Chains A and B, each alone.
Chain A
Amino acid sequence: MSVLSRTSSLVRNLLRRKHVEADLDEELRGYVALLAQEKIRDGMNADDARRAALIEAGGMERVKDDVRDARAGLLLETTAQDVRYGLRMLARSPGFTTAAVLALALGIGANSALFSVVDAVLLRPLAYRDPGRLVVLLHNGRNPVAPANFLDWRAQAHAFERMGAAEAWSANVVGGDRPEQLRGLRLTSDVLPLLGVQPLLGRTFLPRDEEAGHDHEIILSYGLWRRSFGADPSVVGRMIALDGEPYAVIGVMPKEFQFAPFWATHAELWAPLPLADRATDRGDNTLRVFARLAPGVTLAQARAEIATITARLEREFPGTNGGVTVTPLKDKVVGDVRPTLLVLLGAAGFVLLIACANVAHMLLARSAARQKEVAVRTALGASRSRMIRQFLTESLILALAGGVAGLALAAIALHALVALGPGNIPRVNTVGLDSNVLAFMMLVSLLTGIGFGLAPALQASAPDLTGALKDGARGPSDGVHRNRMRSVLMTSEFALAVVLLIGAGLMIRSVLAMQRVDPGFNPENLLTMTVSVTGSAEAEPHHRAIFFQQLLHKVQSLPGVQSASAINHLPLAGDLWGYHFHVEGRPIPRPGEAPDATYRVVFPGYFRTMRIPILRGRGITEQDNRNAPAVVVINQWMADRWWPGEDPIGKRITLGDPEHPVWLTVAGVSKNDVQHDWVAPPSEEIFLPYLQTAEYMDGSSSHVSYMTLVVRADCAPSGHACDPAALAPAIRGAVWSFDRSLPVSDVQTMEQAVARSTAEPRFTLLVLAAFAGVALFLAAVGIYGVMSYSVSRRTHEIGLRMALGADRGDVLRRVVGQAMMLTLMGSAVGLAGALLLTRLMSGLLYRVHSTDPLTFVAVAFLLACVALVASYVPARRATRIDPVEALRQA
Chain B
Amino acid sequence: MNLLQGTLDLLILKSLSLGEMHGLGIARRVEQITQGAFLVKPGSLFPALHRMEEAGWLVSSWGESENNRRAKYYRLSAAGRRQLRAESRTWDRISVAIATALQAT
Contact = CB atoms under 8 A, between A and B. Distances in A.
B42 A71 contact: no
B44 to A, nearest CB: 8
Which residue of A28, A74, A75 has the most chain B CB atoms within 10 A of its CB atom? A74
A396 to B, nearest CB: 21
Contacts of A28: 42, 46
B47 A34 contact: no
Nearest to B28: A38
Contacts of A73: 51
Nearest to B67: A37
B55 interface: yes
Nearest to B86: A381
A383 interface: yes
Given A28-B46, A66-B46, A67-B47, A33 B69 contact: yes
A57 to B, nearest CB: 5
Contacts of A30: 22-23, 65, 69-72
Contacts of A57: 41-42
Nearest to A26: B70
Contacts of B93: none
A677 interface: no
A111 to B, nearest CB: 37
Interface string B44-58: 101110110011100
B83 A27 contact: no
A27 B56 contact: no
Given A34-B65, A58-B43, A63-B46, A27 B55 contact: no
A62 interface: yes
B65 A70 contact: no
A188 to B, nearest CB: 70
Nearest to B56: A383
Contacts, number: 77
B85 to A, nearest CB: 8
Contacts of B56: 383, 385-386
Contacts of A33: 69
Contacts of A24: 46, 50
Nearest to B82: A381
A74 B24 CA distance: 23
A70 B50 contact: yes
B23 A70 contact: no
A748 B17 CA distance: 89
User: Looking at chain B's contact residues, is the secondary structure mostly helix, strand, loop, or mixed?
Assistant: helix
B79 interface: yes
Interface residues of A, number: 31
B54 A74 contact: yes
A69 interface: yes
Nearest to A69: B47
A380 interface: yes
Contacts of B86: 380-381
User: Looking at chain A's contact residues, is the secondary structure mostly helix, strand, loop, or mixed?
Assistant: helix
Nearest to A37: B67
A74 B67 contact: no
Contacts of B70: 26, 30
A303 B65 CA distance: 75
A152 B51 CA distance: 79
Given A27-B23, A383-B56, A70 B72 contact: no
Contacts of B50: 24, 67, 70-71
A67 to B, nearest CB: 5
Interface in A1-41: 23-24, 26-28, 30-31, 33-35, 37-38
Contacts of A58: 41-43
A62 B46 contact: no
Given A34-B65, A63-B42, A27 B47 contact: no
Contacts of B67: 34, 37
Interface in B67-105: 67, 69-72, 79, 82-83, 86
Contacts of B83: 381
Contacts of B48: 70
Which residue of A24, A30, A37 has the most chain B CB atoms within 10 A of its CB atom? A30
Interface in B19-47: 22-24, 41-44, 46-47
A380 B57 CA distance: 13
A74 B5 CA distance: 14
A285 to B, nearest CB: 75
A382 B44 CA distance: 25
Contacts of A386: 56
Contacts of A63: 42-43, 46-47
A586 to B, nearest CB: 92
A23 B48 CA distance: 16
A58 B22 CA distance: 18
A74 B42 contact: no
B71 A27 contact: yes
Nearest to A35: B24
B105 to A, nearest CB: 36
A72 to B, nearest CB: 9
Which residue of B47, B69, B70 has the most chain A CB atoms within 10 A of its CB atom? B47
A220 to B, nearest CB: 66
Contact of A31 (B23, B51, B55): B23
Contacts of A385: 56
A34 B42 contact: no
Contacts of A31: 22-24, 42, 71
B51 A70 contact: yes
A26 B73 CA distance: 12
20 contacts: A26-B70, A27-B23, A27-B46, A30-B22, A30-B23, A30-B72, A31-B22, A31-B42, A34-B24, A34-B65, A34-B71, A57-B42, A63-B42, A67-B50, A69-B47, A74-B55, A78-B55, A380-B82, A383-B56, A385-B56
10 closest Cβ pairs, A-B complex? A70-B47, A381-B82, A70-B51, A66-B47, A27-B72, A30-B71, A34-B24, A74-B54, A67-B50, A67-B46
Interface of B: 22-24, 41-44, 46-48, 50-51, 54-56, 65, 67, 69-72, 79, 82-83, 86
Given A30-B22, A30-B23, 13 more contacts: A30-B69, A30-B71, A34-B69, A63-B42, A66-B46, A67-B50, A70-B54, A71-B50, A74-B54, A74-B55, A383-B79, A385-B56, A386-B56
